[in-house]
Structure 1
Amino acid sequence: MPKEYSFQVSPETAANAVALKLFVSRKTGISIDELTHIEILKRSIDARQKTIKINLKLAVYVNEDFEELPVLKPAYQDVSAQEPVLIVGAGPAGLFAALRCIELGKKPVVIERGKDVRARRRDLKKLNIEHLVNEDSNYCFGEGGAGTYSDGKLYTRSKKRGDVQRILELLVAFGATQQILVEAHPHIGTNKLPGIIQDITATILEYGGEVHFNSRVVDILIKNNAVQGVSLHNGVQLEAKKLILATGHSARDIFQLLHHKGIAIEAKPFALGVRVEHPQELIDSIQYKCDYRGAFLPPAPYSIVRQVDGRGVYSFCMCPGGIIAPCATSPGEVVTNGWSPSKRDQATANSGIVVEVGPKDFKTFGDSPLAAMYFQQQVEQKAWLEGGKTQTAPAQRLVDFSEGKLSKDLPVTSYTPGVRSVELARVLPEFIYTRLQKGFVEFNKSMKGFYTNEAVVHATESRTSSPVRIPRNPLTLEHIQIKGLYPCGEGAGYAGGIVSAAIDGEQCAEMAVK
């Protein structure tokens, strides 16, 4: 049996197998000749001090062979003739719900309003270059959901919700690198995620499930407060007694449908703000406390939170070496988000910087359960107007933003549709704008150099989480009112990222097939 050790080593040692072997031999007293293999089990960076260290958890093999065992897919079975479970949405929650249904002997029927990965790329190009928003095929809707063209972050604090390791191992089985099992803050990368998603879809089809693209749900068929099926935009009806609703946080038409049908939903607090872009070299110098991070350290991330005038102001979905993307889901709105390729090798770093939004902030829209959604939508529409009624993002240099000055000029940013100099007080609600102004100054106290006019503030970062929660029984995960309806994932207000959405998808599937 291998022996487990934990060490702190230099980045150079962690990156070099020979150097690591020498280090372990010196520290343990085990002869180099007896060290047959060293397996890195966990890796994290400790950048708290000026001298940066890598924390390693190792399995050390002494005079014994090491055999790397592949991570295998579960023993799926043919479910083509089994009872169907309808799953609306092919994001992480929906796809992992479908896989779990197959494991448990039920036939998943996945209904996705958007297109498959390849066809979806053409619509993303039109969005970036021609500013044309396809309401069914964009960064949020399509095969894989919002996660497909995101950074692919897999770090989650939702470990109490379910088996995080299982989700990571399933992703490896479908093509992700095994490094996601090792890194403290794993990610896959936008360039790698589409292939993984396609493999998952192919597996669902191989074992008798169905996946329907270009199929927008326009009605949920209900009789005696129980699900009977769904109607699609093309008039097709699909029947089933169980429906997992995993539409994602941007399916406003579904929220409106539920409200119109008298199905219980409720407004949910969320967060809204801006997306800020810095040169990656600047973030590296701040976080690593050096002029050049060298060849052995990855582009530095950051995570920061402050209380400003009684509210949380914090970074969200930080993308080292990444790009800002246009994520509107309807014409007449501007929404920004970020993504990174697997190597995180772009010249800029970006992060959402957002402010908590609560019930008193959207009370102007009354007591409607859609009030938070309407508040969110209103800010996005203001950004569209101020940006020139295109996907151009209204923007300011960071110091100018905090000092309330219109920026005389703006650098080219990674946001392909372009930026327009605007005083963002014209876009953002006052309580958000003023807290961001103060928040940026506060951030600089712990991240010296963050507060700079080299950074550009883009409006708006508004899709941090769903503005609606669809209430469900915490024991059965079934809707509190409608039998056979299982609200699921981010769109229902029960997840916040790829891993937590996948966990929730699996759990909803387990309840639905009982």
Structure 2
Amino acid sequence: MRKELHLVLRPEEAYDEPIFHQLVAGKAGFASSEELVIRQVRRSIDARSRQVKVNVTVEVFAGEPPPARINAGKTYPNVRNSDPLIIVGAGPAGLFAALRAIELGVKPIVLERGKDVRSRRRDLAALNRRHLVDPDSNYCFGEGGAGTYSDGKLYTRSKKRGDIRRVMEILVSHGAKEDILVDAHPHIGTNKLPALVENLREQILQAGGEIHFETKVVDLILAGDRIQGVVTQAGARVLGMGVILATGHSARDIFYLLARNKVYLEAKPFALGVRIEHDQQLIDRIQYHCPIDRGRFLPPASYSLVQQTVLDGKQRGVFSFCMCPGGFIVPAATAPGEIVVNGMSPSRRDGKFANSGMVVAVELEDLNGYRQHGPLAAMVFQQEVEQAAWAAAGKSQAAPAQRLIDFVQKKESSELLKTSYQPGLTSSDLHAVLPEFIAKRLALALPGMDQKMKGYVTNEAQLIGVESRTSSPVRIPRDKESLEHPQIQRLYPCGEGAGYAGGIVSAAMDGERCAERLISKYSRPRLA
């Protein structure tokens, strides 16, 4: 027999396993002699009042074993000799497109400009310690894409774009903890993601798919209005029934390549700003209303902030982005001569600092001075800001930084705080580094955010620039239903780089959808 309970618990009741099981067993109402299996279905923290509560949905089984959460024994067909499909990019969109292609009986050939996850680590170490940027192997490029070295957040609002549960189950079957099926805001952690990505790779290879690392695409093979394949930097011509373009939001050379081939593109609004770094204990105290620390039962606190600003008669949102509790800030540049910062967290989120992007919406009307660049206008603007940050901070990967109140008051910081950012910081006037409308809107928004999180605006926090890779500044258009490019047949723009996703799960779902649509139209196997 199965019962489902909806409980509102104190943190110590929800997260102390013996206490939790005893409490649930008492509320389930079964006879004390029966053996029970207790399994959480959903869990979320409610910190809106001074007494933090945990909402838990739990299922209790008495006298019968519970069904498996996932189909762990799923098998993939051997597609070694099947028709090939080309996937450019081995991030979440590309890897999940490859797995879905295999399920549908098609052989994926994945071309990745970067290295496998293990080899990639050496280049990341060189970036952090010696400030050496490898344009093909960094925090954005390489196996797993930018998602591999990230917080591993799995929360998405893209519920109409695919099957979220399916993606989660695939992640669990390849190494993620089952907790991601339960938590309202699940995450995996940057320390756990590389092994999971390796498992996805092995699944693709075992089924007869191909993955080629250090294989950069430099041209398209076009026959009129149809794409037949791609050309690699080594001169190889790779042909297939179609091309799924899943290159991520930082592959500027791909945007230039498409423009050179007169493939239709569009400039796209995005957001740009800084990373804000606080002591995690301060964020815990604010969010959990605790005078000292959160205690051992609550996870490190996160936050989400948004503030509307009006400048020169134009309203723009300023908002937190990719908040990383207990995390660290990393150098995410993809070329020498630029500064880009991003945030990530390990699975336990047990670092000293909390960091979050704090960014300003950039609309196309804000970029009138870049109109000559056509659909690449926002991308050129983004690149120029990154280059200005590099120059301001001494032409290394040491990032420009300023204490928070000093920034609001337009006062250069005489001394900076300790930081999680390994390449180091350089005290700078961020008003001189950022575009004027970005800096002004940040300075306008921050005091209002302090009204929502008392104590958030403090000189014991600092701004680190620049956070510029929030989303793609270019959209590769596609038909709303078929997902095919409206001009080039058999070309399927996909994921974050094409402007249609915003994280690991949404990119994975988009990869699956693109594979399904392409194969349905040009191979027509029976959909599994």
- TM bracket (short chain): over 0.9
Q: What secondary structure does 1:126 align onto? A: helix
Candidates 338, 344, 353, aligned match of 1:348: 353
Identify the residue that residue 306 of structure 1 maps to in structure 2.
307
1:167 corresponds to 2:172 = no
Q: What secondary structure does 1:458 align onto? A: strand
Q: What secondary structure does 1:186 align onto? A: coil
Residues 32 and 351 (structure 1 numbering): CA distance in 2 closer, same or farther, change over 3 Å? farther
Identify the residue that residue 370 of structure 1 maps to in structure 2.
376
1:206-355, aligned counterparts within 5 Å? 206-290=206-290, 291-309=292-310, 310-355=315-360
Q: Which amino acid aligns with 2:463?
A: V
Identify the residue that residue 23 of structure 2 maps to in structure 1.
23
1:128 corresponds to 2:128 = yes
Identical columns (%)? 57
Separation of aligned partners in 1, 2:274 and 2:35: 51
Separation of aligned partners in 2, 1:70 and 1:507: 21
Identify the residue that residue 465 of structure 2 maps to in structure 1.
459
Given that 1:71 and 1:172 are in contact with CA atoms closer than 8 Å, whether structure 2 keeps it comes out as: no
Given that 1:22 and 1:32 are in contact with CA atoms closer than 8 Å, whether structure 2 keeps it comes out as: no
Given that 2:28 and 2:60 are in contact with CA atoms closer than 8 Å, whether structure 1 keeps it comes out as: no
Scaled by the length of structure 2, the TM-score of the pair is 0.96
The Cα of 1:71 is off from its aligned counterpart by 4.0
Separation of aligned partners in 2, 1:238 and 1:230: 5
Given that 2:90 and 2:111 are in contact with CA atoms closer than 8 Å, whether structure 1 keeps it comes out as: yes
Identify the residue that residue 515 of structure 2 maps to in structure 1.
509
Per-residue CA deviations over 1:66-119 (Å, capped at 9, x if unaligned) read: 465654263211101111000000000000000000000000000000000011
1:44-123, aligned counterparts within 5 Å? 44-66=44-66, 68=68, 71-72=71-72, 74-123=74-123
Separation of aligned partners in 2, 1:226 and 1:66: 51
The Cα of 1:429 is off from its aligned counterpart by 0.9
Q: What secondary structure does 2:326 align onto? A: coil
1:5-24, aligned counterparts within 5 Å? 5-24=5-24
Separation of aligned partners in 2, 1:16 and 1:120: 38
Identify the residue that residue 41 of structure 2 maps to in structure 1.
41
Identify the residue that residue 402 of structure 2 maps to in structure 1.
396
Which shifted more, 74-83 or 278-287? 74-83
Structure 2, unaligned runs of 5 or more: 521-528
Identify the residue that residue 477 of structure 1 maps to in structure 2.
483
Q: Which amino acid aligns with 2:212?
A: H
Identify the residue that residue 426 of structure 1 maps to in structure 2.
432
The Cα of 1:481 is off from its aligned counterpart by 0.3
Q: Which amino acid aligns with 1:82?
A: S
Q: Which amino acid aligns with 1:373?
A: M
Q: What secondary structure does 2:263 align onto? A: coil
Q: What secondary structure does 1:319 align onto? A: strand
Separation of aligned partners in 2, 1:81 and 1:25: 54
Separation of aligned partners in 1, 2:216 and 2:69: 41
Q: What secondary structure does 1:388 align onto? A: coil
Given that 2:123 and 2:138 are in contact with CA atoms closer than 8 Å, whether structure 1 keeps it comes out as: yes
Q: Which amino acid aligns with 2:465?
A: A
Query: Cα RMSD over matched residues?
Result: 1.2
Separation of aligned partners in 2, 1:247 and 1:396: 33
Which shifted more, 138-147 or 363-372? 363-372
Identify the residue that residue 188 of structure 1 maps to in structure 2.
188
Separation of aligned partners in 2, 1:363 and 1:187: 39
Given that 2:138 and 2:334 are in contact with CA atoms closer than 8 Å, whether structure 1 keeps it comes out as: yes
Scaled by the length of structure 1, the TM-score of the pair is 0.98
Identify the residue that residue 447 of structure 1 maps to in structure 2.
453
Given that 2:273 and 2:438 are in contact with CA atoms closer than 8 Å, whether structure 1 keeps it comes out as: yes
Separation of aligned partners in 1, 2:483 and 2:101: 15
The Cα of 1:236 is off from its aligned counterpart by 1.2
